[in-house]
Amino acid sequence: MVDSIDDMFDTMYEEEGIGLAANQVGIDINLFVIDISHTDDSEFPRIFINGKITSSDGESIFSEGCLSIPQVSLEVTRPERIIFKYQDVEEKWHEEEFDGLLARAIQHEIDHLNGVLIIDLVSEMQRARVNKEVKKIKKDSLAKLKQHPITKGFVL
């Protein structure tokens, strides 16, 4: 499992994300990684296993991006503070209060583990706008591919 976790951090950093759920990279386990240390010197890379939000309070609206929907960000409403129970890699249980960006990132990754994307949390109008943006991104990507076709390797 340690190799998988290291790979998850590598993927997250490569994609310039702050969090990554195991199911986003094809691993079927209740696990996610988060690193917001670039925004807060007191923070460090974190690993959360078998996590569950036991309580939440407050409300904040913040623009969120997602590695699963690149180049799209949406205003998402979430609780400002959460109490979160989880295990570490040594299988020790912790229960902590989180707020701000870390609380938001935890909620975002928990949503991924439950099959929920940020697009599922917004209004129909925002969803329609995003679908339009995604179609444009796909069209632009295909146009670039036609200009510079892949001549070696595999296309999956």
Residues with active-site annotation: 109
- Whether residue 24 contacts residue 12, with contact meaning beta carbons closer than 8 Å, is answered with no
Q: Among candidates 77, 113, 80, which has minimal Cα distance to 97?
A: 80
Longest CA span, the chain: 53
Q: Among candidates 109, 77, 150, which has minimal Cα distance to 12?
A: 109
Distance CA 133, CA 72 (A): 8
- What count of other Cβ atoms lies within 10 Å of the Cβ of residue 53? 16
